[in-house]
A = this chain, B = another copy of it.
Amino acid sequence: MATVYQQMATDELRQEVGELRAQVEATKAKNLSLDMARGKPSPEQVDISRPLLSVLNEDSDLFDEGVDCSNYGCFEGIPSARKLAGAFLGVPAEQTIVLGSSSLNIMQSVLIHYWEKGVPGYTPWSKLDHVKWLCPSPGYDRHFGLTEDLGIENVPVPMTETGPDMDVVEKLCAEDDSIKGMFCVPKYSNPTGVTYSDDTVIRLATMKAAPDFRIVWDNAYCMHDLTEDGDKLLNIHGIAATAGNEDRILEVASTSKITFPGAGVAFFGSSEANVREVAQTLKVGLISANKLNQLAHVRFFPTIEALHQHMMRHAGFLRPRFALVQEKLAAGLGTTGCATWTNPRGGYFVSFDAQPGSAKRIVALCREMGVTLTPAGATWPYGKDPADTNIRIAPTYPSLDELGAALDILVLATKTVCAELALEARA
């Protein structure tokens, strides 16, 4: 689709660019400092978890089902926390491990383990000539960093409205057994907000792939609906098990965006065999995780329903922010053809696609006007967005006023770059 600027006469376009540039200069003069870069809850939103800090005090019973949470032991996590993890991840409690706050850290530990020792029964990935990893893109930069750090080749696969393009994924996995795994954020995917369709989940669970192919099923946003009527994600474990692929699925999640970022608890869920093997491995470098924090969490969330109610309070902070993104972008760019964007029903991000070859310029121009965005390209492996279109919008941290101001600047930058590109194309 042609943009409004591409349709303008050159004189008119030149004048438009001049006017947009004047607005840019006026905005710069305001010396703003706004941040739409990272997926952090706002301070007010974090504060709804403050009662968690009062759950334990010096007089508390520190036992959970017979486990002393105040001393070493119970590596796999305290019983109540494993039950919560099971309800959270959709596996039996026995198929979970509950650890410190970081699911990223669990993913890294497991990948390093397979890198060094191999999936049991198979060659360590580090001993293979070449290992590839599928990265639905746009996706999550910190995922890509884990495999890049190990020297694994990250291979982008296109994201669609139903999840990764499964025709591409199936073809690659069937033909190339150097592909050893794939990152998935199956619900409210980072950054598109897409929830994988049932068909996508079934195909991922049952497709042909290397026997030591593993899916990092990062269910970071499985509880992060914006409304009571959230997206429904199919439970992948049962389907994988029926197909004999139960070891393929490495699910993780955490409470970092539920209670306190960086100070929550993190979950691992997989097959019985994987849980046993992963626990055995992680024990080499950890005696036991912070069980007191686990205890505080399970007393704060005695049931998964209590956790859901808490998430609905979070949603109360997030809904107006996500609505403002849609409103500002539609009002500012809706008729320009300069960009498209997603409208997720949960999660933490909106994915924004501008004209090819413009994302880096837009992000740079926003920065000149005082708005920090996630670096353009960050949503692709190696930071290389082949079409240079994608920008991740993280609307959760700023106040509504700040968010509105930042979005106005994003709109202005997008129009300016779009108009300039149209003018440059005529030179």
Contacts and interface: CB of A to CB of B under 8 A. Distances in A.
Nearest to A38: B72
Central interface residue in A49, A60, A101, A145, by most chain B CB within 10 Å = A101
B100 A142 contact: no
A290 B287 contact: no
Interface string A144-159: 0110011000000000
A108 B58 CA distance: 33
Contact of A142 (B47, B260, B287): B287
Nearest to A117: B149
A54 B59 CA distance: 9
A263 B285 contact: no
B100 A101 contact: yes
A203 B368 CA distance: 55
Given A50-B58, A126-B126, A262 B289 contact: yes
A292 interface: yes
Nearest to A257: B72
Contacts of A101: 100, 289-290
A279 interface: no
A116 B112 CA distance: 10
B108 A70 contact: no
A290 B293 contact: yes
Q: By CB atoms of chain B within 10 A, which of A109, A261, A287, A289 has the most?
A: A287
Contacts of A46: 70-71
A105 interface: yes
Number of identical protomers:
2
Residue from A100, A260, A286 having most chain B Cβ neighbours under 10 A: A100
Contact of A104 (B49, B57, B286): B286
Interface string A289-316: 1111100000000000000000000000
A284 B143 CA distance: 9
A115 to B, nearest CB: 8
B51 A53 contact: no
Contact of A54 (B58, B285, B293): B58
B51 A71 contact: no
Central interface residue in A41, A47, A53, A57, by most chain B CB within 10 Å = A53
A260 to B, nearest CB: 5
A53 B56 contact: yes
A284 B47 CA distance: 28
Interface in A100-126: 100-102, 104-105, 107-109, 112, 116, 126
Given A54-B58, A57-B54, A292-B53, A287 B71 contact: no
Interface in A256-299: 256, 260-263, 284-293
A54 B100 CA distance: 21
Interface in A146-176: 146, 149-150
A5 B47 CA distance: 71
A43 interface: yes
A290 B290 contact: yes
A149 B284 contact: yes
Given A69-B263, A256-B287, 11 more contacts: A43-B68, A43-B71, A53-B57, A70-B263, A71-B261, A71-B262, A101-B290, A102-B286, A149-B284, A261-B287, A262-B288
26 contacts: A43-B68, A46-B70, A50-B59, A51-B58, A53-B56, A53-B60, A53-B292, A57-B57, A70-B263, A71-B260, A71-B262, A72-B262, A100-B100, A102-B285, A102-B286, A102-B287, A107-B285, A112-B116, A116-B150, A126-B126, A146-B284, A149-B284, A261-B288, A262-B287, A263-B292, A290-B290
